[in-house]
Amino acid sequence: MIKKTIKQLWDINKIIERTTPEIENTQKRILVKLMYTPHLKFNELWDKHGESNKFAYHLKKLEKNGLIIKADESYKLTHKGKTIVAYLQSKTGKELKAPLLCVALLIFDKKKNNVLMLKREKEPFYGYCGFHGGKIAHSEYIFESAQRFLSETGLTGELALKGIFSIKTFEAKELSYNHQFFVVAATNLKGKIIQKIRKGTNHWVSIKKIREQNIFPNSEFFLKIALQKKFQWIEADRMQENDLFKGITIKKDVYF
């Protein structure tokens, strides 16, 4: 799945890993309080919850890591702290699990009626054949992300946003992944294919023969969206057993 935000969360986790569960809860409780009241003094934050010297230790840790700042005897969130609390639940202080925002990039050689597929050589989903794409970086817009994935193949081309594919993946009825894909088509290509990349191996596949590959259950729906003239949104659940795909259920399929 946002590099800058993940690094910031890791900064907090490094503190937590060297301490006790009480410190984790105390520091997050401080951040949540400052989420709703921008300026609080020590006693207002402490509220006589635990020993004052331990509480002061936690405040110093948050200051040291640049998440809060003290000014005029009050504490407030820094910009870095504000980006952290955006990923905390306001009631519990637990870190939010957000859906993965991704691009699904379908690269077409229309003269040959082929689409470029990638045999994955990385986890998760090792060995499956799919289309190019991946997680959108924190600093990117949709087409910037799509362009980055296209450049990894050695190609350039024209990009078009064709639709959205929302998909939840379940293993033994428990939610494993929640992907929100922006489906982008790349045409009018230039350049030479790089066959072997870090993620796996590229190869052209006839649109009519993609079922002969070990494809993801949603691959055909990505293709359907990319080939439509209207903007399309599909919502689906896909099922796994022991990390192998066993099926997909379409819950919504609409055009705009």
Residue 164 has what pLDDT? 98
Find the helix packing angle between 3-17 and 21-36, rounded to 10°: 130
Provide the phi-psi class of 173: left if phi over 0, else alpha when psi is between -120 and 50, else beta. Answer: left
Residue 98 has what pLDDT? 83
Residue 111 has what pLDDT? 73
Instruction: Give span(s): CATH 1.10.10.10, the chain.
Output: 3-85
Two structure tokens written together for 42: 């020590």
Homologous superfamily of 100-255: Nucleoside Triphosphate Pyrophosphohydrolase (3.90.79.10)
Cβ burial of 161 (10 Å; 0-12, 13-18, 19+) is middle
* Residues 156, 162, 168, 170, Cα dihedral to 10°: -60
Q: Note down pLDDT in tens along the chain; length 256 residues.
A: 444 444 444 454 444 334 333 436 889 889 989 988 889 999 999 888 788 999 999 999 999 999 999 998 999 999 989 988 887 877 666 777 789 999 999 999 977 689 999 999 888 888 899 999 999 999 999 999 999 999 999 999 999 999 999 999 999 889 999 999 999 999 999 999 999 998 899 999 999 999 999 999 999 999 999 999 999 999 999 999 888 889 999 999 999 9
What is the CATH class of 3-85? mainly alpha
Calculate the alpha carbon distances from 2 to 5, 33, 252 in Å.
Answer: 6, 25, 28
Q: Is the pTM of this model over 0.75?
A: no
Instruction: Give span(s): CATH 3.90.79.10, the chain.
Output: 100-255
